[in-house]
């Protein structure tokens, strides 16, 4: 027996398909026991003619041979949310039992053996519940086909939409919030990116443009790419627009291409001079970034002039439970997602560099990497000020790296993500909080926010 699922967006339910090889029929016969081979055929087929008897006997034999049938269980999404919350509470309760400080320095071999078994079963239960919540991106991807069809008809363009990786699965709470950002990016690619047929032919391209929507798994993240083969983005045009709007805070020559392209994601920024049905109002791309950041994701832009543009969205598989590394800074603890960590180490004095403005950096394998002190970032106390006495954790996000300075590295911690209170929700660099085994609160760091 196996379990598959299908989400009904209109009713807000997930339908679970049970594939059973036991041979049960649907309908009224589902609970009726099959006649055994030892039963008298006359008791089964009495009062019927020979042809009917033969057909019925054949059906019974097929039923007994293990013919596979399907039955569907419809479960409301709210029940799955409640189940996930209970699993999260179970994970916290397990940590509170197994990491109870009263157990320190006690010889409890049987207890630790039972605790390991409990942890194993808890992890299996968590994996099963999370897998039930996962739904394929196919339904969301297919919605984009109508947008492409309608827009190309109005714009007079010929575009083929290619869907790749439709079977990729994401937590249903994330997929629900993914449709609007994808719609904006598809519309952006059709309006801004792909040229009219005559312009494409003049540039030596086929008259029909190609828009690719791709999803793929990468560790605990899902990457969604929206790529077009259009004219690309001219960084100099973006830079001039940004200068006209007063968005530059350093000399033009100091901006990298990546920094220039990121201006597109700012509120009110548009490269179109005239307002149309689809663009020119300066709204859309900033909404895309905000919606993606709400679900813990990031967006990256790559473009080559004349060859097209790619928007890459990285989103987590789930927002419910994460694996992290527990750090301590003074009396405060932080959890750093393991997926963002490259390495941790204690530097030597020879590796530490301080420039004329007081900025601290580390020389690691011939590369200078900035240092960020967590106690300065969040205005907390610390037990050590010297970099060579604490611990440094190198983290990476969107090809940007920084070394986070903390007092101690306490080990791995599975964290049930809880929302932050409203008054600190907008604090840069925090993604949420969790409850540790001793009942204390730990803050979950947002590496993208720290580097942004």
CATH number at residue 359: 2.40.50.180
**CA distance from start to end of the chain:** 47
Question: 422 with 333: CB under 8 angstroms?
Answer: no
Residues 6+ apart with CB under 8 A from 233: 261, 264, 301, 303, 305, 309
* Judgement on whether residues 189 and 282 belong to the same structural domain of the protein: yes
pLDDT at position 321 is: 78
Q: What is the pLDDT of residue 58?
A: 55
Q: Do 329 and 290 sit in the same domain of this protein?
A: no
CB 14 within 8 A of CB 132: yes
Greater confidence (443 vs 319) lies with 443
User: Residue with structure tokens 């919606």?
Assistant: 291
| Beta bridge mates, 75 | 14
* Arithmetic mean of pLDDT over the chain: 79
**Which is it for strands 298-304 and 321-329: parallel, antiparallel or unpaired?**
unpaired
Q: How many residues does the chain have?
A: 452
pTM comes to 0.67
Buried/exposed 113-152: b ≥16 CB within 10 Å, e otherwise: eebeeeeeebeeebeebbebbbbbbeebbeebeeebeebb
In tens, the pLDDT along 168-194 reads 988 888 888 888 889 989 988 898 889
Residue 277: what pLDDT? 55
pLDDT value at position 213?
Answer: 94
Name residue 241's beta-bridge partners.
Answer: none
Q: Is the predicted pLDDT of residue 51 greater than 60, yes or no?
A: no
Task: Kindly tell me if the per-residue pLDDT of 2 is higher than 50.
Answer: no
Phi, psi (rounded to 5 degrees) for 76? -70, 140
Residue 286 lies in a domain: yes
Is 84 a member of any domain?
no
CA-to-CA distance for 294 and 298, rounded, in angstroms? 10
3-state SS of the chain is CEEEEEEECCCCEEEEEEEECCCCCCHHHHHCCCCCCCCCHHHHHCCCCHHHHHHHHHHHHHHHCCCCEEEEEEEEHHHHHHHHHHHHHHHHHHHHHHCCHHHCCCCCHHHHHHHHHHHHHHHHHHHHHHHHHEEECHHHHHHHHHHHHHHHHHHCCCEEEEEECCCCEEEHHHHCCCHHHHHHHHHHHHHHHCCCHHHHHHCCCCCCEEEEEEEEEECCEEEEEEEECCCCCCHHHHHHHHHHCCCCCCCHHHCCHHHHHHHHHCCCCCCCCCCCCCCCCCCCHHHHHHHHHHCCCEEEEEEECCCEEEEEEEEECCCCEEEEEEEEECCEEEEEEHHHEEEEECCCHHHEEECCCCCEEEEECCEEEEEEEHHHHCCCCCCCCCCCCCEEEEEEECCEEEEEEECEEEEEEEEECECCCHHHCCCCCEEEEEECCCCCEEEEECHHHHHC
Q: Do 278 and 156 reside in the same domain of the chain? A: yes
Does residue 281 lie within any of the structural domains?
yes
Q: State the CATH number of the domain containing residue 212.
A: 3.30.565.10
Domain count, the chain: 2
283, 335: one domain = no
Residue 197 has pLDDT above 60, yes or no: yes
Least confident of 25-39, 211-225, 282-296, 304-318: 25-39
Q: What is the pLDDT of residues 53-108, one digit of tens each?
A: 455 545 545 555 444 556 778 888 888 888 888 888 888 888 888 878 788 788 88
Q: What are phi and psi of 65, to 5 degrees?
A: -80, 0
Arithmetic mean of pLDDT, 215-244: 88
Least confident of 5-19, 157-171, 330-344: 5-19
Is residue 232 assigned to a domain? Answer: yes
312 shares its domain with 325: no
**Two structure tokens written together for 236:** 């100099």
The burial class, CB within 10 Å (0-12 / 13-18 / 19+), for 421 is: exposed
- Quick one: 387 and 312 in the same domain? no
In a domain, 441, yes or no: yes
Same domain? For 327 and 402 the reply is yes
Give the domain-ending residue among 282, 316, 350: 316
Highest mean pLDDT among 3-7, 8-12, 287-291, 292-296: 287-291
Distance CA(160)–CA(432), nearest Å, equals 41
**What integer is the mean pLDDT of 304-318?**
87
Q: Is residue 5 assigned to a domain?
A: no
Angle CA 77–83–85, to nearest 5: 105
Same domain, 350 and 207: no
The range of the structural domain enclosing residue 395 comes to 321-451
CA-nearest of 155, 198, 203, 193 to 271 is 193
**Looking at the structure, do residues 344 and 254 belong to the same domain, yes or no?**
no
Final residue before a domain boundary, out of 294, 316, 338: 316
366 and 446 fall within a common domain? yes
Compute and round to an integer the Cα radius of gyration of the chain: 29
187, part of any domain: yes
Instruction: Indicate if 297 and 325 belong to the same structural domain.
Output: no
Query: Given 260, 288, 316, which residue is the final one in a domain?
Result: 316
- Residue 224 pLDDT: 93
Q: Are 446 and 392 spatial neighbours (Cβ–Cβ below 8 Å)?
A: no
Domain shared by 275 and 334, yes or no? no
Q: Tell me, yes or no, whether 83 lies in a domain.
A: no
């Amino acid at each position: 027996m196996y379990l598959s699922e299908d989400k009904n967006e209109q009713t807000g339910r997930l339908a679970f398909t049970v594939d059973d090889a036991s041979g049960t029929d649907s309908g009224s016969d589902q609970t009726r026991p099959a006649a055994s081979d030892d039963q008298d055929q006359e008791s089964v087929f009495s009062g019927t003619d020979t042809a009917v008897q033969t057909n019925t006997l054949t059906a019974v034999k097929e039923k007994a041979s293990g013919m596979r049938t399907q039955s569907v269980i419809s479960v409301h999404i709210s029940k799955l949310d409640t189940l996930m919350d209970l699993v999260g509470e179970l994970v916290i309760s397990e940590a509170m039992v197994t990491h109870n400080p009263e157990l320190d320095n006690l010889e409890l071999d049987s207890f630790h053996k039972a605790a390991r078994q409990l942890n194993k079963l808890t992890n299996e239960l968590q994996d099963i519940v999370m897998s039930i919540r996962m739904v394929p991106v196919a339904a969301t991807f297919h919605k984009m086909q109508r947008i492409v069809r309608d827009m190309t008809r109005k714009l007079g363009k010929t575009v083929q939409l290619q869907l790749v990786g439709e079977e990729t699965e994401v937590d249903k709470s994330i997929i629900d919030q993914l449709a609007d950002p994808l719609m904006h990016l598809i519309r952006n690619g059709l309006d801004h990116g792909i040229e009219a047929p005559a312009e494409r032919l003049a540039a030596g391209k086929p008259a029909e443009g190609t828009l690719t929507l791709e999803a793929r798994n990468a560790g605990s993240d899902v990457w969604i790419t929206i790529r077009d083969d259009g004219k690309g983005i001219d960084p100099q045009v973006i830079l001039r627009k940004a200068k006209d709007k007063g968005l530059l805070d350093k000399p033009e020559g100091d901006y990298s291409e990546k920094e220039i392209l990121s201006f597109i994601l700012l509120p009110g920024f548009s490269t179109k001079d005239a307002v149309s049905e689809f663009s020119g109002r300066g709204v859309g791309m900033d909404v895309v970034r905000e919606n993606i950041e709400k679900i813990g994701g990031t967006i990256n832009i790559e473009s080559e002039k004349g060859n097209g543009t790619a928007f890459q969205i990285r989103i987590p598989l789930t927002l419910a439970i994460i694996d992290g590394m527990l750090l301590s800074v003074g009396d405060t603890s932080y959890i750093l997602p393991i997926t963002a960590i490259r390495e941790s180490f204690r530097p030597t004095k020879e590796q530490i560099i301080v420039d004329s403005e007081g900025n601290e950096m580390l020389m690691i394998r011939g590369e200078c990497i900035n240092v960020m002190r967590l106690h300065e970032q969040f205005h907390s106390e610390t037990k050590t000020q010297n970099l060579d006495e604490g611990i440094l954790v190198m983290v990476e996000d969107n090809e940007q790296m920084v070394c986070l300075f903390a007092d101690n590295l306490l080990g791995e911690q599975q964290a049930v993500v809880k929302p932050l209170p409203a008054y600190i929700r907008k604090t840069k660099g925090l993604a949420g909080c969790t409850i540790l085994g001793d009942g204390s609160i730990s803050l979950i760091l947002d590496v993208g926010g720290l580097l942004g």
